Chain A
Amino acid sequence: MNATSAFSFSRVLAMMIKEFIQLKRDRMTFAMILAIPVMQLVLFGYAINTDPKRLPTLVTSTENGPEVRAVITALATSRYFALQPGFVSEAEASRALVDGSAAYVISIPPGFGRDLARGLRPQLLIEADATDPSASANALAALPEILASALSTVLTGPLAAEAASASPVDLVIHRRFNPEGVTAYNIVPGLLGTILTMTTILMTALALTRERERGTLENLMATPATPLEIMIGKIVPYIGIGTVQVAIIIVCARVLFAVPMQGSLMLLIGITFLFIAANVTLGYTFSTIAKTQMQAMQMTFFWFLPSILLSGFMFPFRGMPDWAQTLGVVLPLTHYIRSVRGIMLKGSGPADLVGEIWPLAAFWLAVGTIALLRYRRTLD
């Protein structure tokens, strides 16, 4: 009959209605469909700022004359630099750059005001944390202009000519940790964390839901296996897989992109282990919440999206508004990326990274507790 072989709108309609009903029944999918665009809009629209302002800046100086104050005031009013009050020692400043608490250190040499007055073009040293070249580029580009206009107000009378000349100071910029501003140096360590986040969470998120969907979970629960045994047994293989991924990425980072390895490989492995453990445990927690593999994948994606956007991987962390930074601080990827960049590019040691290690450990502990509480011994 013609009606059965020809294209039938009724059949298409039947499929459409069925699909829509099924979609409606799957609350989680439905919620994700609505939540993901909203989340994307908010994050891309409000949180991301590729021109970060108010970057923490330290000043080392032995004098505090009008010229120095003028420079400091000008930097502060430029809004690119958030100057910490007072001066610090060189050692403190250097330490702050390594542990990431300062983005810039401005060193004013002794006799700066005197030399300036004599028109000797004194050196002004700016050390910038260039691990993320895009984060520091704008501020550094604006710097000569800021200094020139600041000093023009101080250099009056016979010195006005000095101010008008191209530059009254000899601006020396040190792009620390990544002198050539190679983007790959920043991206590759970040990618390590991003890839691990995606794969380890996804693999473990599917771990329990797959058993549930295939009906093998009921059997497993009828055995003497305890929730802790099942969780450890499910998580450890993926920690192993994550470790293999790390090895591949680190080798590629060296061979293909020549990313330096300033710090200790052992420290990197240790923190990586902590990070993978936190991620697989999070994935396992998703697994205890999601009813199907589909839902588990959606939850992974829902986690992945803010992770890449708010962790400082794609966009400068300090460019984000406070609320976004607060969210970012919760994410393990934020701390891991800081640690990896620190170890590989700055040679950070354990003492520099304490502030990144404990949040990772705390996250792991919290998520692990939730997972064990969520896992039900019974099918209720």
Chain B
Amino acid sequence: MKKDQGCLGSRGACKAEKGLWVMKHIAIGILGAAALGFTASAASAGTLDTVKQKGFIQCGVSTGLAGFSAPDDKGEWQGIDADFCRAVAAAVFGDGTKVKFTPLSAKERFTALQSGEVDILSRNTTWTINRDTALGLNFVGTTYYDGQGFMINAKKLPGVNSALQLSGAAVCVQTGTTTELNLADYFKSNKMEYNPVVFEKLEEVNAAYDAGRCDVYTTDQSGLYGIRLTLGSPADHVVLPEIISKEPLGPAVRQGDDQWYHIVKWTYFALLDAEELGITKANVDEMKNSDNPEIKRVLGQEADTKIGTDLGVSNDWVVNIVKAVGNYGEVFERNVGSGSPLKIARGINALWTKGGLQYAPPIR
């Protein structure tokens, strides 16, 4: 249960959530029981048909997480998660604006998907087996590989460039979270000592770290970059390369509707394939005339192609996706990378050809 705070830098189940643990598990029990009935009825309706009929996609996003889904000055949702929903809308309607966003709290998100309130849950949600099975969701892939990381105050810990050098450090962490447990495991398994400085609220952790009460701050790595922006002297703080937990974040749909599942899944793959083939928002129209057969195939320019229609969308679906949001790399750089204040490096989110984990099956 990470990734759920509606605050800058996200993170960590807070204590209140711990209190809701019992209630949530009761809810999950009922959910599980109810899931069959709901998915059956939802499947019979066919999400694609329903979506086409109402003319827009209802997309569940977070209540505010920098770089993933946060409102801009005009109140439009921006971020990787928001753009992913725009990409699906572009694939289905040829228009990336035909999407409506529903901000969902961590407690509501699964019910909202189950009950049909949203068509896609694109809300920095960690992919786990429990959610894939017991909760009746289908995760379509990992749009962002996240994990718990460390940020250190380089002034107080000069020369440290690996988490393995942190023995004896004072570590700020939010209590009652999996972050706290991962931290304990990591230091124990590496036979290192540390002084935990625990707080209940994220704001308190930020303030304590900024005031120098601890040398190290640990939470999900994507969140560390957001937190760094709110520190008095960000240049003094360094995010270490180690990631000590797996937090694959991705969009999910309801179980029992394979067509919709495939559309959402292949939208994700199309974003990756477009990047791999060098198709960008700027050059997509030229690329349609490319001699490269693979590019032609992906962009639906092959004679008698049925790739798009077999999926249930138009044959120029990839063109529409790229025109609406760009390829995966563009989405990443614009929202969390060099084009955003967060300046997160691609790291393991780079394409497989560049040493990262993002890999998509071919569109053919």
A interacts with B: no
